[in-house]
Amino acid sequence: MTFLALTGFQAALLALITAGAIVALYFLKLRHRRMVVASSLLWARVLDERQAQSLWEKLRRVISIAAAVLIGLLIAMAVGRPEMHWLTGGGERTLLVLDTSPSMLARTRDGSTRWQHAVTAALRTVNASAPSSEFRVADTIGRVDAAPTTDRREIREAIERMKPIAGTARFPESDSETAHVRFITDGVVPLPMPKGAVRESVFEEAENKNSKDHRFRVEHAQHLTQLAIPRFAQLKVIASMQPYHAIDDGRWAYKRLDDERLIRTYAFKSLLEAKAKLTFGSDWTVAPLKPLQGIYAAVTRRTLDDKNPHGWYPGQKISVEQALRCYTANNAYAGFQENKLGILKKGMLADLVVLDENIFDIAPEKINDVKVLRTIVNGKQVYLRK
């Protein structure tokens, strides 16, 4: 609801103050009890030279002038405003974008979904704003893009119409009248935002609801954006990959992805340098169940067709020690078993293998040829090479 360019709240406030001012003038008993709207008569009463010059009369005159000026200012604001920031405390337009990616349906540790956290955050932002503040509410797949409005009911209805759904994610374009952009997301699908936009992560908010350690993990975290790499460590999310796929995909991935994407494919080194917890696996039965081949792949990145002898995107190669840790200690941590698995230490389970070569001493290219001589699980021998 609007009245003379005012919001419903401001129109009601104007009516209340105006009525109070008129009642105050009436009880001041300015010569006539009958009130006349015409400003000339009002000022004549206030400034009449024939009024007594007592202290009360002077005070009454000052109050009457102030009340008249106040009425004039309120009328001027109603007619001439479009925005009166100093008085209304706001009025600027905000583009409020909610991430509607399917990942927002994931449940958090407090039992609610990330989407529920996002809606709560959006309503909190709207309710904390000035009544004259405009909001344009939009999602990231183009299903909802409401017209700018100050009507809180319409804003809430637009937010309630949204829901996470599969689709091509995109960030809505802002117009020249938009002063602020706020994006509420879980960060799983990174989107480029306009300069100066504020990003509010409901992933972190959900995490902070409870201190319990969940150790969330992203499987097949092999094609990442630059923005996504540091967020694994920031959000304490484990990145899980299968090194064998790097030397397999490297034969044909260039036919499907451009160099801008491939330069961060299987970004082992970048993730470790960003302090992310990285785990390795085989993806068996899709790929061979051979950890040694996985270590070879992570260290050399030599594709299966031998067309990349120095490594496919060699800048992402890691050391033997790093690769071994990703297959052992880091995997144990991801499975909440770091107190009994993953390293050779007194008191831990005796799970180990004996190799025919020291993989720390030989050339990395030879790791793929190393043989397992003996396997021990929980202190018991389960394999012996003959």
**Domains along the chain?**
2-82 (no CATH), 89-207 (3.40.50.410), 217-338 (3.20.20.140)
CA–CA dist 302, 304 (Å, integer): 7
Distance (Å) of CA 170 to CA 11, 97, 143: 38, 11, 11
CA distance 53 to 220: 89
The DSSP bridge partners found for residue 218 are 239
d(CA 178, CA 148): 10
Q: What is the pLDDT of residue 137?
A: 93
Helices (H), the chain: 8-27, 39-47, 55-80, 85-88, 114-127, 152-161, 202-207, 228-235, 243-249, 259-262, 268-273, 291-300, 320-327, 329-334
128 to each of 67, 152, 360, how far by Cα in Å? 31, 11, 59
Count CB-CB contacts under 10 A for residue 165. 13
Residue 272 in tokens: 């470790």
pLDDT along the chain (386 residues), means of 10: 52 68 61 47 53 65 73 61 46 88 82 89 89 90 88 92 87 86 85 84 61 83 90 91 96 91 94 97 92 97 95 96 97 93 92 96 96 94 94
Q: What is the DSSP secondary structure assignment for residue 141, as one 8-state letter?
A: S
Task: Enter the pTM of the model.
Answer: 0.56
3-state secondary structure of 284: coil
